[in-house]
């Protein structure tokens, strides 16, 4: 068994790293230290959906009630609309048991709620990882501020441009997808009267627009996906003019309701979208990956953070069953074997969802696109929302126990 004397470092204090810290402390009972490069924990001023598959994990970790109280549960299912606002189909928003629903979260609220569950002494800010050196047993971490420290294991939750990933294998870097999003939040009081408290996605030629409520319905999140040949070898996000965004959805080919939503926006910023082929290997001895570091994916299924939350539960379950410190590499291999399959499906599905939203799907065959979105809705409820990361990891452990290590 691993124990409180097993020292595990988590690189990255984002939503993935903080959830991993909670899960590893509460489920595996190990001694966790989170290293974050920034001088304070924070997130961009935009929204994120905590989906039922992640809500189930957060419930098992004892943090769901707080998160739900800060977020916004929609009034019912969301809708997919064509460019003029015609209904294509409704969207899945809860699991089959109707126990967990989508929760729209303002990102700074979610990071704050997760951080509040981690002992502040276990979070070391201003520590930018430079390198990971494998030792006979464990790893030596070197930070840009000159600190060096040894741990029994390290988890790379350091996002899309992960440094830890380089210590796992010769993986290619994520690539720019050719799309940017305009993102931001708008005060709900600025929206037209009786604006529906649900998620809505308008799908038009080469672009789409999504919005949903956040923060006890006081805010609405928006994400507008647009093709762009903006070179992204420099910064991959920045501030933008609302007029640029409005111009992308102007004219009589777009729903006037959508245009009235855009007219209420005061501020926006752009963000480059990166994609990654599923990695072939997530772990190397006592080093493993979690969240975007392991499975950067396009945001079109809203599953990036949700998968990081599932990863955290699976990792904690496998680590809790490890045969002491020497058993950690095997626990990490087992974790990766289970999680790589799951996240590869979502990486590929997110790419496909983007092509659907932007009417680029199957050579712009919109009838087929609409039929496939309807099928996808049921898949989303069953295969994505009903997934129980803890149960799947426990079942896998039973199978692995029958195979000699």
Ligand X SMILES: Cc1cc2nc3c(=O)[nH]c(=O)nc-3n(C[C@H](O)[C@H](O)[C@H](O)COP(=O)(O)OP(=O)(O)OC[C@H]3O[C@@H](n4cnc5c(N)ncnc54)[C@H](O)[C@@H]3O)c2cc1C
Print the binding letters for residues 222-261 with ligand X: x by CB under 6 A, - otherwise. Answer: -x--------------------------------------
Closest separation in Å from C-beta 50 to ligand X = 7
In this chain, which stretch among 71-79, 246-254, 304-312, 330-338 interacts with ligand X, using CB under 6 A? 304-312
Work out whether 291 is an interface residue with ligand X (CB under 6 A): yes
Q: Does 303 bind ligand X (CB under 6 A)?
A: yes
Residues facing 185 on adjacent strands: 221
271 forms part of the interface with ligand X (CB under 6 A): yes
- Tell me whether residue 138 or residue 299 sits nearer to ligand X (CB atom): 299
14 binds ligand X per the rule CB under 6 A: yes
Q: Which residue in the set 71, 74, 138, 159 belongs to the binding site for ligand X (CB under 6 A)?
A: 159
Tell me which of 100, 179, 182, 212 is the catalytic residue: 212
How far is the C-alpha of 380 from the C-alpha of 99, rounded, in Å?
15
**Cβ-based neighbour number of residue 388 at 10 Å:** 16
Strands of 129-134's sheet, edge to edge? 129-134, 139-143, 148-151
Q: Which residues contact 180 (CB under 8 A, 6 or more apart)?
A: 225, 226, 228, 230, 270, 271, 272, 273
Q: How many helices (H) does the chain have, and how many strands (E)? A: 11, 18
What is the x/- site pattern for ligand X, positions 313-342, by CB under 6 A?
------------------------------
Kind and range of the H or E run holding 121: none
By CB under 6 A, residue 167 contacts ligand X: no
- Residue from 2, 8, 10, 16 binding ligand X (CB under 6 A): 16
> Pick from 37, 22, 19, 27: which is nearest to 2 by CA?
27
Single out the segment in contact with ligand X by CB under 6 A; choices: 193-201, 280-288, 305-313, 365-373: 305-313
User: From residue 20 to residue 39, what is the string marking binding to ligand X with x (rule CB under 6 A)?
Assistant: ---------------xxxx-
Q: Least distance to ligand X from the beta carbon of 113, Å?
A: 14
58 in contact with ligand X (CB under 6 A):
no
Position 286 contacts ligand X (CB under 6 A): no
The 3-state DSSP composition of the chain as helix, strand, coil percent (nearest 5) reads 40, 25, 35
Residue 158's Cα: distance from chain center in Å?
A: 13
Per CB under 6 A, contacts with ligand X among 103-132 are 127-129
- Among 74, 302, 329, 349, contact with ligand X (rule: CB under 6 A): 302
Minimal distance, residue 128 CB to ligand X, in Å? 4
Indicate the length of the chain as a whole number: 405
CA distance 85 to 211: 13
The answer to the question of residue 354 lying near ligand X (CB under 6 A) is no
Q: How far apart are the first and last CA of the chain?
A: 15
Using CA atoms, how far apart are residues 29 and 194, in angstroms rounded to an integer? 48
Identify the residue among 158, 255, 310, 358 touching ligand X (CB under 6 A): 158
User: Shortest distance, CB of residue 403 to ligand X, whole angstroms?
Assistant: 30
| Phi, psi of 287, rounded to the nearest 5 degrees | -120, 130
Q: Which stretch binds ligand X (CB under 6 A): 56-64, 147-155, 157-165, 379-387?
A: 157-165
Is residue 48 near ligand X by the rule CB under 6 A? yes
Residue 15 binding ligand X, by CB under 6 A: yes
CA atoms of 246 and 243, how far apart (whole Å): 5
Sequence-ordered list of residues with C-beta below 8 angstroms from that of 307, at least 6 positions apart, any chain: 291, 295, 297, 342, 343, 346
Hey, how many other C-beta atoms are within 10 angstroms of the C-beta on 263? 14
Sign of torsion over alpha carbons 297, 299, 305, 307: negative
For ligand X, the closer CB: 127 or 207: 127
Query: Residue 106 catalytic?
Result: no
* Residue ranges that bind ligand X, judged by CB under 6 A: 11-17, 35-38, 48-49, 127-129, 157-160, 163, 181, 183, 223, 271, 291-292, 299, 302-306, 308
Residues identified as active-site: 212
């Amino acid at each position: 068994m691993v124990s409180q004397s097993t020292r595990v470092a988590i690189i990255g204090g984002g939503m993935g790293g903080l959830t991993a810290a909670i899960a590893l402390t509460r489920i595996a009972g190990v001694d966790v230290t989170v290293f974050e490069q920034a001088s304070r924990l924070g997130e961009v001023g935009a929204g994120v959906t905590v989906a039922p598959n992640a809500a189930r994990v957060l419930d098992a970790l004892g943090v769901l009630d707080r998160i739900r109280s800060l977020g916004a549960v929609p009034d019912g299912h969301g809708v997919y609309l064509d460019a003029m606002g015609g209904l294509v189909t409704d969207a899945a928003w809860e699991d089959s048991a109707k126990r967990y629903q989508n929760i729209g979260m303002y990102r700074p609220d979610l990071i704050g709620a997760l951080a509040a569950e981690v002992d502040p002494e276990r979070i070391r800010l201003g520590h930018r990882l430079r390198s990971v050196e494998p030792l006979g047993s464990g790893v030596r971490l070197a930070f840009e501020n000159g600190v060096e420290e040894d741990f029994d294991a390290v988890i790379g939750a350091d996002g899309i441009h992960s440094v830890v990933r380089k210590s796992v294998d010769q993986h290619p870097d994520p690539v720019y997808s050719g799309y940017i999003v305009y993102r931001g939040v708008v005060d709900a009081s600025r929206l037209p009267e009786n604006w529906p408290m649900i998620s809505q996605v308008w799908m038009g030629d080469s672009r789409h627009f999504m919005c949903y409520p956040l923060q006890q319905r006081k805010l609405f999140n928006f994400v507008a996906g647009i093709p762009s040949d903006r070179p992204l070898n420099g910064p991959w996000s920045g501030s933008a003019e609302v007029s640029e965004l409005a111009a992308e959805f102007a004219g009589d080919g777009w729903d006037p309701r959508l245009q009235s939503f855009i007219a209420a926006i005061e501020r926006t910023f752009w963000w480059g979208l990166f994609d990654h082929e599923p990695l072939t290997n997530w772990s190397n001895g006592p080093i493993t990956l979690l969240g975007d570091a392991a499975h950067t994916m396009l945001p079109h299924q809203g599953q990036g953070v949700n998968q990081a939350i599932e990863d955290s539960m699976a990792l904690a379950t496998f680590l809790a069953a490890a045969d002491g410190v020497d058993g950690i590499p095997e626990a990490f291999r087992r974790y990766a074997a289970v999680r790589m399959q799951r996240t590869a499906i979502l990486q590929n599905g997110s790419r496909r969802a983007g092509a659907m939203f932007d009417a680029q799907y199957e050579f712009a065959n919109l009838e087929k696109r609409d039929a496939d979105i309807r099928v996808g809705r049921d898949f989303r409820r069953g295969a994505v929302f009903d997934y129980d990361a803890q149960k799947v990891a426990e079942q896998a452990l039973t199978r692995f126990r029958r195979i000699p290590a």
